[in-house]
Amino acid sequence: MKIRNRYAPSPTGLQHIGGIRTALFNYLFAKSQGGAFILRMEDTDRARSDPAFVQNLFDTFQWLGFHWDEGPDIGGLYEPYTQSQRTAFYQKAAQELLDKDKAYYCFCSAERLENLRKEREATHSGETGYDRLCRNIPKDLAKSRVKSGEPYVVRLKIPLGQSTRFHDHLLGDIEWKNEDVNPDPVLLKSDGFPTYHLANVVDDHLMDITHVLRAQEWLPSTPLHAIIYESFGWNMPQFCHLPMVMGSDGKKLSKRHGATSIDEFRRQGYLPEALLNYTALLGASYEEGKDIYTLEEFAASFNIDKLNKAPAVFDYKKLDWFNGLYIRTKTNEELAELALPYCKGLVKENSTLFIGAMALIKERISLLSEIPSKIAYLFEEPPLSEPSEFFPKKADLAKTVELLELGKPLASASYPKNDEEAEAFFKEEAEKVAAVAGVKIGDVMMPLRVAITGARVSPPLLGSLRLLGQEKALARVEKSLSLLKAASCR
């Protein structure tokens, strides 16, 4: 049997971590079995579906870098893959259930249903859903009412007095009393459009879907889906409801915890590889002791039997760690390319200086969005710091002026091209200054660092000096010296 599975989002919102995780697990499972992964657009909710969200989905997956084998954009043997273009299939299916007496016409007005709800609320009856009033209308009468143009919906005739059983790959056998299932839900709405339940089941059947891996929040719908399959006399796909993704407080991951939409992660400067790597680990186990995988490696070791039952906790810090790791695998040129959109206020285009700056910060960041503030001093003169900012520990203003004067040649030196030689030269010179001034080498660096970078904590000083060049570096030192000297005259 060839495995066929699908990601079936409703385009009613931005793509978020939970959805991506579902899509990714389906993809990895299909790839691990030589199967096909399908994208199906479930846009039955006409009011909430929006083409902008369809576009967001395409953009998101383009960015993430994994794709379906069949879908609305690329077609396939089971076209069309967008439910709003498949109405005829659902109408035919609803007719089939009507003919089999597994569904019935319902003529109840929205007003009647609203009154029913209010009445129940007032009497605290605890009952919800449809009261099955039209279930007893004789078939012929119902048909003639339809013929005469009376508005109707088609409802599923849930078999009463029995239970429905299905097997979930992860959760095992599940049994629901039919009385506890949504009472005779609508399959076809009065405008001829299907509800989610009908469209979902009909499409999984018509598209030969063998496995449904979906979020656990759909589990309460599954007994109903099982009844629909049974009513048609169709085999059910294998179900596997995936554990929820939670925040660190054990509540469903939401905006309160941090970014959830992929757009937001992207804006914050996460790399797609890092996001995919981390997401694929949410609730699944692969090889012992291995954290970093390519998509191909994930696919090779994905095992549906190694999914966790317990909810997965989304750890933003761990994701940051992954992101930092992936950032460090980039060459300076690649990183510059990725960083450019985040540095628009600072640089207009890629340059040797910009690429050089990447080498200085690569080891020190976990998000691309951290880059502009870290490298700004290389492109714009940093604002002059307060005199006390320049002071090494235990040094006063006079000593700081002396150290910066002595350190000036470090700024104006012409450094060897070779990194190691430059490093050795820099260290040697700094040690000389430290010996003359009777301080530690770090005390020589501090005022110089603040003069050059504008901050006490910065990317490596030598790298910064070399990138800035003698002229600019010296000018900054001179400027700082003037400030400090002016302060000592006060």
Q: What residues line the site for ligand GLU (CB under 6 A)?
A: 8-10, 42, 200, 212, 214, 218
Residue 31 or 211 with smaller CB distance to ligand GLU: 211
Minimum CB separation from ligand GLU for residue 68, in Å?
14
DSSP class of 434: H
What lies within 8 Å, CB to CB, of 330 at 6+ separation is: 338, 362
Residue 93 or 468 with smaller CB distance to ligand GLU: 93
Query: Quick one: which H or E segment has residue 208?
Result: none
Minimum CB separation from ligand GLU for residue 219, in Å?
11
Residue 187 or 212 with smaller CB distance to ligand GLU: 212
Task: Give the three-state DSSP class for 188.
Answer: strand
Q: Which of 255, 318, 348, 440 is catalytic?
A: 255
Residue 6 or 157 with smaller CB distance to ligand GLU: 6
Inter-residue contact 51 to 59 (CB < 8 Å): no
DSSP per-residue letters across 68-127 = -SBBTTTB-TT---BGGG-HHHHHHHHHHHHHTTSEEEE---HHHHHHHHHHHHHHT---
**Cα diameter, the chain:** 108
Inter-residue contact 168 to 178 (CB < 8 Å): no
37: left (phi over 0), alpha (psi -120 to 50) or beta: beta
Minimum CB separation from ligand GLU for residue 12, in Å?
8
362 is catalytic: no
Minimum CB separation from ligand GLU for residue 242, in Å?
10
Minimum CB separation from ligand GLU for residue 253, in Å?
15
* Token couple for 176: 């629901």
Residue whose pair of structure tokens reads 């700094």 in the numeric block? 430
Residue 5 or 480 with smaller CB distance to ligand GLU: 5
Residue 23 or 271 with smaller CB distance to ligand GLU: 23
Give the long-range contacts of residues 162-169, CB within 8 A, separation 24 or more: 164/223, 164/226, 164/227, 164/230, 165/226, 166/222, 166/223, 166/226, 166/236, 166/239, 167/238, 167/239, 168/219, 168/222, 168/239, 168/240, 168/241, 169/238, 169/239, 169/240, 169/304
Minimum CB separation from ligand GLU for residue 7, in Å?
7
Residues with catalytic roles: 255
